[in-house]
Structure 1
Amino acid sequence: MALRKITVEENVYWYKSVTKYALETEAATFEITVFLEDHKQTPLKISFVTSEDLYAGNPLNTGVVLTRLSDKETENINLNRPKYIRECILYGLKMGWNGGNKVAVMDGLEILKSLGYDVSGLCPKEGIVIAHGKEYLK
Structure 2
Amino acid sequence: MANIPIDRLADELVQAIKEYTEDVENVVRKKTDEVARKVLKEAQVLAPKRTGEYAKTFTITKEDGYGIARRIIWNKKHYRRVHLLEFGHAKANGEGRVKEYPHLRPAYDKHGARLPDELKRVIENGG
User: Normalized against structure 2, the TM-score is what?
Assistant: 0.25
Larger radius of gyration: 2
Higher relative contact order (CA closer than 8 Å, sequence separation 6+): 2
TM-score after normalising by structure 1: 0.24
Answer 1 or 2: which has greater strand percent: 1
Higher helix residue share: 2
